[in-house]
Amino acid sequence: MIKINKEFILSKESRFSTFKTQLKRSFIITKKDLRIYYNKPPVLIQGIFFPIILFFAFTIGRSISPIYLISGIIAMVLFLTSTSLGPIIFPWETIRGTFERLTTCPVSIKTILIGSIWSSFIYGLLFSSIPLVLGVIFLSSGLAINYFLIIAGMILSSLVFSSFSLIISSPPIRNPGNTMILQIFIKFPLLFISPLFMPINSIATAVISPITYCLDVLNIGLGEVSAFGSFGLLIDILVLIGLGFGFLFLAFAIHQKTLEKRFR
């Protein structure tokens, strides 16, 4: 009995040690991705230029409440930046032959994917903090702002959107330009069915988009009542967590199946 317990303890310690090692290696991959890919043209176009263009397209000539203006621009920048880095990493690494070398290293495909999530998460959170700061400085007069809730909502949403970006990056595409086309067909419909710069209840299809739940958390943090009732905040958090894990496990499964196709 004692022997079994010792073996069980050693097995748990071994699993924890392996997990810790793979987690450290994922951060190394994150550092590499951020250093190499943050300024690539597809990332700059999808993550920085498009949010600026869409912001003016959505807001020019309209009288918009400061709450919806702040939450809309934060959610839009957070979604576009968090999903801009991951999808171009895999085709770029594949076409240069570095992805094949990476898979021969003592790291699992899940470690590589988690490293991509961290890099997308940091990139998205960094750039979405800019409209938050500007919104607080210029538009927050008279608003009861809950900074903790807003930042927590941004962190959770960025992780969800980063996990979603792994699904976009799963097709074994070798040309980064083709990835941009795929992103446009997937990401922009989600943006257009989301209630950016307007009340959530004004669009019936809003519940389909994960951006909606990010917006609701931000609106609550800015002093607005949740669009989903008394338990709206809890619903937002549970849905975002559920979507995050769903996107993550789906991405793991798809990438496992498409991994060999990248090297053909």
CA 61/CA 233 separation, integer angstroms:
32
- The model scores a pTM over 0.75: yes
Q: What is the pLDDT of residue 12?
A: 53
Number of domains in the chain: 1
Q: Is residue 141 in some structural domain?
A: yes
pLDDT tens string 43-100: 888 778 888 888 888 888 788 888 999 999 999 999 999 998 888 888 888 777 777 7
Q: Is residue 166 in some structural domain?
A: yes
Do residues 127 and 47 make contact, with C-beta atoms less than 8 angstroms apart?
yes
Q: What is the pLDDT of residue 13?
A: 53
CA 187/CA 83 separation, integer angstroms:
8
Structure tokens at 181: 């086309």
Q: Is residue 12 in some structural domain?
A: no
Mean pLDDT along residues 98-104: 76
Q: What is the pLDDT of residue 5?
A: 56
Quote the percentage of the chain above a pLDDT of 90.
Answer: 34
Do residues 16 and 46 make contact, with C-beta atoms less than 8 angstroms apart?
no
Q: Is residue 153 in some structural domain?
A: yes
pLDDT tens string 155-176: 999 999 999 998 988 887 777 7
Q: What is the pLDDT of residue 216?
A: 95
Q: Which domain holds residue 210?
A: 28-263
